[in-house]
Amino acid sequence: MNSRALLPALILTGIVSVGIGLTQGSVDLSLTDIHAALLGHHRPSLQHTLIMDIRLPRVLLALVTGALLAVAGVLMQVLLRNPLADPYLLGVSGGAAVAALSAMLLGLGSTLVNTSAFGGALLATLLVFVIAHGRGGWTPTRLLLTGVVLASGWGAMISFLLATSPNTHIHGLLYWLLGDLSGNHSVLPASLLLLLALIASLPIARHLNVMVQGDDQARSLGVDVNRLRLLLLTIAALLTATAVTLAGTIGFIGLVVPHMLRMTGLHDHRLLIPASALLGGILLVLADTLARTLLLPAELPVGIFTAVLGIPLFLFLLYRSRLA
Amino acid sequence: MNADVVLSTHSLTVDIGDISVCDNLDLTISPGQMWAILGSNGAGKTTLLHTLAGLREPNRGAVALAGQAIDQFSRRQIAQRVGVLFQDCNDPYPATVLETVLIGRHPYLSAWQWENAADIDLATQALQAVGLDTLQDRIVDTLSGGERRRLAMATLLAQDPDIALLDEPLNHLDLRYQMDILNLLRRRVDSGQHAVMIILHDVNLAARFCDHAVLLHHGKVQQGPTSGILDSNAIEQLYGYPVHQVDAPGGRVFVPT
């Protein structure tokens, strides 16, 4: 597909996926109901409350969280020059999880749990920044090794917290670790952050096309590599911290979405970043719709369905791809 | 600014750990000159090239572009004057051939600018010059080693720097393309606007195509016109292997004994 035609196609798919997310649930609604609710007709009614107070916030939360994760994924894959990189690789989600679980165990309210998660994510990033710099400066390998080692440390702390927690807490803790979009979060701050990150990444996106060629190559083509790396890590950390705070740890989106788009022939980061935001949002909306409708009235962790949707799609593209 | 000098060094000292690459080197490269860097494995040829490109701090001394210290230029300004062809290229997210060549235009574009028709023209011409114009839409990692080398050359041509610093550009190239690339560089230099510095292992090609040479030998550096400094004694000393000089139709040829 022509890479410039991909963005409009993704926007269209995004609208369809939001429509699916809004109509599907414990009570199936028609497009006419959605249309009426969005225009403020038939207020107050069950449909109106269901759409405007429950489904729309959740679908928007999934859309924004998916976009945050996918954009963070692209940035991390360039930052580390590693196709296996995802937003969580350097322990950002681990730091958030340890802080949030500790706050939950201390019996703090949801606002403090969320604040702790955000603080924990940023603290984890800061640790990677400081320790990885050492004497030699940031190189992809140093960042990767430091991040992976610290992430395993956070993993051990999570295991410790789970092992020593009272049984009554375990279910809530696990849901948080597996990813959960049922939290009643306002999506506005996260949307603004996403918008800011997209705007900030546009002028640096062309630098990323050069940076993937290697540090020396990028420098010889006029890129201030250290400054760019700091900027990338900061933006990626803020995006990931926000996503983790909103919805816990949701795997797969940040890793796979950028690759899927690359396999369709999109290589230019000026298009890849906004396209990733769209595809990440779409996948998470669809995965969440499945998670909350498949075994009604039970709700399953959304992480299962990001994999259910993502793995076959990824493998199909990989099979078709010339790289395979 | 001095238009007669593209790149110069003043008392340049470069070490790799305890190993000396050059000590107090004064070098002046002018437009219209093609320099070879010759030396045995591990002599520090690449390190010297990277230092000249401003990618590595010298231990002492300075590098200047058109007479002005290189550290007074921004990265982008340096990239408009100095281009580098690296020994290896390793791209984890390969793009198409045309997209890859277009990154050569990076130093000339401002933050919000996209490549325009003129940039695409330049990139296409660069691909034609290295014989890759029919492969524009191919993904880079489907190319052969030699094709990738020519692609790196095309990217450098699209960058269009005042001086091109090339680290073993002939690796993976067959005889025809070795000659094509050297002839291409020679024509570029002969236009009088550009200079080239090239790391070579083939002394015969250096003698044939380059007018000047830097010989790196354990921290001792010889430099000057190839006609004056490149002889069988110098080569034997440089590589630690005896050679005979033979006069051939294309010029002098050095044959290992």
Q: Give the separation between CA B162 and CA B157, rounded to whole angstroms.
A: 11
B136 near A CB under 8 A: no
Helix (H, G, I), strand (E, B) or coil at A29: coil
Strand-by-strand arrangement of the B195-199 sheet: B82-85, B163-167, B195-199, B34-39, B212-217, B220-225
With a CB cutoff of 8 Å and minimum separation 6, the contacts of A164 are none
Residue that is written with structure tokens 């369905």 in the block: A305
Of B165, B151, B163, B136, the closest CA to residue B65 belongs to: B163
Mean pLDDT of chain B: 92
Higher pLDDT, A12 or B18: A12
B239 near A CB under 8 A: no
Fold observed for domain A3-320: ABC transporter involved in vitamin B12 uptake, BtuC (1.10.3470)
Name the phi and psi angles at B143, rounded to 5: -85, 160
Q: Which residues of B touch A209 (CB under 8 A)?
A: 95, 99, 103, 106
* B112 contacts A216? CB cut-off 8 A: no
pLDDT tens string A121-158? 889 988 888 888 777 677 888 888 888 899 999 999 98
B187 near A CB under 8 A: no
In a 13 Å sphere around the CA of B67, the CA atoms on its Cβ side amount to 5
- Is B47's pLDDT higher than 60? yes
Q: What value does the mean pLDDT take over residues B165-194?
A: 93
* B141 contacts A220? CB cut-off 8 A: no
pLDDT tens string A48-73? 777 777 888 899 999 999 999 999 99
Q: Which residues of A touch B89 (CB under 8 A)?
A: 213-214, 217
Q: What value does the mean pLDDT take over residues A227-239?
A: 88
Pick B7-84+162-256's CATH classification: 3.40.920.10, 3.20.20.120, 3.40.50.1100, 3.40.50.300. Answer: 3.40.50.300
Contact A133, A156 (CB under 8 A): no
Nearest by CB: B53 against A220, A322, A323: A220
B137 near A CB under 8 A: no
Q: What value does the mean pLDDT take over residues A294-298?
A: 81
Domain spans of chain A, in order of start = 3-320
Q: Give the separation between CA A254 and CA A71, rounded to whole angstroms.
A: 7
Q: Which residues of B touch A202 (CB under 8 A)?
A: 112
Name the phi and psi angles at A119, rounded to 5: -60, -40
CB atoms within 10 A of CB B201: 15
Q: Give the separation between CA A275 and CA A293, rounded to whole angstroms.
A: 27
In this structure, what token pair is assigned to residue B25? 């080197």
Nearest by CB: B103 against A78, A202, A210: A210
Name the phi and psi angles at B168, rounded to 5: 45, 60
* B93 contacts A212? CB cut-off 8 A: yes
Q: Which helix (H) or strand (E) holds B199?
A: strand B195-199
Helix (H, G, I), strand (E, B) or coil at A164: coil
- Is B156's pLDDT higher than 50? yes
- Is A282's pLDDT higher than 90? yes
Percent of chain A with pLDDT over 70: 95
Question: CA-nearest residue of chain A to B164?
Answer: A220
Q: Amino acid letter at A20? A: I
* A203 contacts B112? CB cut-off 8 A: yes
Burial of B133 (0-12, 13-18, 19+ CB in 10 A): middle
Question: CA-nearest residue of chain B to A202?
Answer: B112
* B94 contacts A221? CB cut-off 8 A: no
CA distance A145 to chain B (A): 18
Q: Which residues of B touch A82 (CB under 8 A)?
A: 92
* B106 contacts A206? CB cut-off 8 A: yes
B120 near A CB under 8 A: no
pLDDT tier, A234 (very low <50, low <70, confident <90, very high otherwise): confident
Contact A187, A60 (CB under 8 A): yes
Question: CA-nearest residue of chain A to B78?
Answer: A222
Cβ pairs A/B, distance under 8 A = 77
- Is A87's pLDDT higher than 90? no
Burial of A112 (0-12, 13-18, 19+ CB in 10 A): middle
pLDDT tens string B246-257? 888 877 889 988
Q: Give the separation between CA A10 and CA A266, rounded to whole angstroms.
A: 13
Q: Which residues of B touch A262 (CB under 8 A)?
A: 93
* A224 contacts B55? CB cut-off 8 A: no
- Is B100's pLDDT higher than 90? yes
Q: Amino acid letter at A70? A: A
Percent of chain B with pLDDT over 90: 75
B95 near A CB under 8 A: yes
**Could you please report the per-residue DSSP string of A180-201?**
---S---SHHHHHHHHHHHHHH
What is the pLDDT at residue A324?
37
Mean pLDDT of chain A: 85
Q: What value does the mean pLDDT take over residues A70-99?
A: 87
Of B61, B38, B36, B58, the closest CA to residue B47 belongs to: B58
* A202 contacts B91? CB cut-off 8 A: no
Question: CA-nearest residue of chain A to B105?
Answer: A221
- Is A112's pLDDT higher than 80? yes
- Is B132's pLDDT higher than 70? yes
Q: Give the separation between CA A285 and CA B247, rounded to whole angstroms.
A: 76
Secondary structure percentages of chain A, helix, strand, coil, to 5: 75, 0, 25
Question: CA-nearest residue of chain B to A258?
Answer: B93
Q: Give the separation between CA A90 and CA A243, rounded to whole angstroms.
A: 15
